[in-house]
Amino acid sequence: MTTQNQTMPAMPTVQGVEHEFIELADGQMHVATMGTGDPVLLLAGFGQTWWEWREVMPAIAAAGYRAIAPDLRGEGWSSLPYQDIDRTRRTRDLLELLERLGLEKVRLVSHDLGAVSAAQLALEHPGMIQSQVIIAVPPLQMRFEMSMVPEMRHLWHQEVLSMPGLGPWLMRSGRMTRHFFSPVFMVKPLEPEVLDQYTAMMGYEATARAAELLCRRMVLPELGRIISGKYSADRLAMPTLFIFGAEDASFSPATMRRVFSDPTRYGSDVRLATIDGTGHFVVDEQPAATSEAIIDFFASLEAGAADGQYE
């Protein structure tokens, strides 16, 4: 099999975004930042890197927050050994990152695979998360139902990408990128230059090899834990907003209404919002609406704190 994209693609430029490389125990984590104020940690979806937040970071910064978007292990411009990936390694990386940055508490926004690490962090270290927004991923505590199986057929790539040799080849070839950003998962197609950027990033050799391990060692084991009910008794200690695309084929509005029929099962302040005209890639399809939902949620909590609703 021929390998491609041995050279890491050039870092995309977003006006006002600064970049730094934070030393962790076994390498450097690339972190993009913008703005000042209370920190908001942004965790991107599978293979999308910090660049997923390119249109959200300016809005968060303009609202008076400091947007912090790291490249998680196995993706982007971080140089952390992808061979060490396991079910919780990215969460442990985040704990180390926050320590290096001197941050004891953050607001948290996550999408797709980044949301798995976010949920682990929120459940295991609730005192570090002031509030969180989870995009396009249901609660880990949800009760699995057989009625969900037809929708999960769209997620066949998780098993395929976990296969040694085949998974990395599909990533390098660009076939997976075309699948991810196809009408199966999106309502509004990406601009050609955006698709090209994602294809280049996901097709990079180290990213392609890491994708195999992420699926085999993280995604599939976590899915098994969700289905078996390992998280069913856990509750979210912080206010949490779940956002879904109104036309997400993997998590339809009807399914999400059932999952969130009693949100108090997951925590004392758990909310659900949908964004019209979007599928799974809510941030890319409707960045303005996504930013507005995030900022409005934070503002509602600040207003509640002023009224004594939150400590």
> Phi-psi bin for 102: left (phi > 0), alpha (psi -120 to 50), beta?
left
Give the CA-trace dihedral at 254, 227, 91, 172, to 10 degrees: -80
Q: So what's the pLDDT on residue 241?
A: 98
Q: So what's the pLDDT on residue 251?
A: 84
Q: pLDDT digit of tens for each residue in the chain (311 aa)?
A: 344 446 889 999 999 999 999 999 999 999 999 999 999 999 999 999 999 999 999 999 999 999 999 999 999 999 999 999 999 999 999 999 999 999 999 999 999 999 999 999 999 999 999 999 999 999 999 988 767 666 667 778 889 999 999 999 999 999 999 999 999 999 999 999 999 999 999 999 999 999 999 999 999 999 999 989 999 999 999 999 999 999 998 888 888 888 999 999 999 999 999 999 999 999 999 999 999 999 999 999 998 776 666 55
Q: So what's the pLDDT on residue 199?
A: 95
Output the pTM of the full model: 0.94
